[in-house]
Amino acid sequence: MNLIVAVIDMGSNSFRLQVSEVKEGVYNVIEDYKETVRIGDGVYNIGKFSPEAIETIINVLKRMKIIMEKMKVSKWRIVGTAPFRDAENADEAISAVKAALDFDIDVISGTEEARLTYLAATGSFDLKGLSTLFVDVGGGSTELSFVTDGNLDATYSTPLGCSRITQQYFGKHRAKPDEVSKLEKYIKRALKSAIANPHLDKIVFTGGTVNNLAQVFTRRSSLSDSVVKYVDTAFFTHLVNELAGKSYEERGKMPGIEAARADISLAAALIVQNLLNKYKMDGFYTFSGGLRNGITIDLLNSMGIQMVFQHIDNQNLRYAKLKETGRKYNYEEVHALHVTALSERIFLQAHKALHLKESDWPLLEAAAILHDVGQHIGYAKHHKHSYYLINNTELVGYTDREREVIANIARYHRRGLPKVKQTNFGALSDDERDKVCKLSAILRVADGLDRSHSQLVQDIEVIIRKDGIYIEVVADSQIDVTMELAGLEKKKDLLEEVFNKKIICGTRL
Question: Interface residues with another protein (CB under 8 A)?
Answer: 21, 28-30, 32, 59, 62-63, 66-67, 69-71, 215, 218-219, 224-227, 256, 328, 330-332, 375-381, 385, 388-389, 392-394, 423, 451-454, 480, 482-483, 486, 489-490
Rounded Cα gap, residues 107 and 18, in angstroms: 18
By beta-carbon proximity to another protein, the closer residue of 21 and 92 is 21
| 340: enclosing H helix or E strand | helix 333-350
Q: Is 478 exposed, middle or buried (0-12, 13-18, 19+ CB in 10 A)?
A: exposed
By beta-carbon proximity to another protein, the closer residue of 35 and 106 is 35
| Closest CA relative to residue 164, chosen from 11, 8, 9, 10 | 11
Rounded Cα gap, residues 495 and 497, in angstroms: 5
By beta-carbon proximity to another protein, the closer residue of 229 and 278 is 229
Question: Do 53 and 44 touch, CB atoms closer than 8 A?
Answer: no
Q: How far is the CB of 103 from another protein (least distance, A)?
A: 16
By beta-carbon proximity to another protein, the closer residue of 248 and 329 is 329
Q: How far is the CB of 132 from another protein (least distance, A)?
A: 24
Q: How far is the CB of 290 from another protein (least distance, A)?
A: 15
Q: How far is the CB of 287 from another protein (least distance, A)?
A: 13
Question: Do 48 and 41 touch, CB atoms closer than 8 A?
Answer: no
By beta-carbon proximity to another protein, the closer residue of 333 and 358 is 333
By beta-carbon proximity to another protein, the closer residue of 4 and 94 is 4
φ and ψ at 465, to 5 degrees? -125, 170
Q: How far is the CB of 73 from another protein (least distance, A)?
A: 11
By beta-carbon proximity to another protein, the closer residue of 179 and 258 is 258
Which residues have C-beta within 8 Å of that of residue 412, sequence separation ≥ 6?
A: 383, 418, 436, 437, 440, 443, 444, 494
Q: How far is the CB of 480 from another protein (least distance, A)?
A: 5
Q: Is 407 exposed, middle or buried (0-12, 13-18, 19+ CB in 10 A)?
A: buried
Rounded Cα gap, residues 136 and 116, in angstroms: 10
By beta-carbon proximity to another protein, the closer residue of 91 and 394 is 394
Question: Do 97 and 117 touch, CB atoms closer than 8 A?
Answer: no
Question: Do 410 and 388 touch, CB atoms closer than 8 A?
Answer: no
- List the 468-475 sheet strands across, edge first: 457-465, 468-475, 503-508
Q: How far is the CB of 253 from another protein (least distance, A)?
A: 13
Question: Do 199 and 280 touch, CB atoms closer than 8 A?
Answer: no
By beta-carbon proximity to another protein, the closer residue of 246 and 385 is 385
Q: How far is the CB of 399 from another protein (least distance, A)?
A: 16
Question: Do 435 and 360 touch, CB atoms closer than 8 A?
Answer: yes
Q: How far is the CB of 335 from another protein (least distance, A)?
A: 8
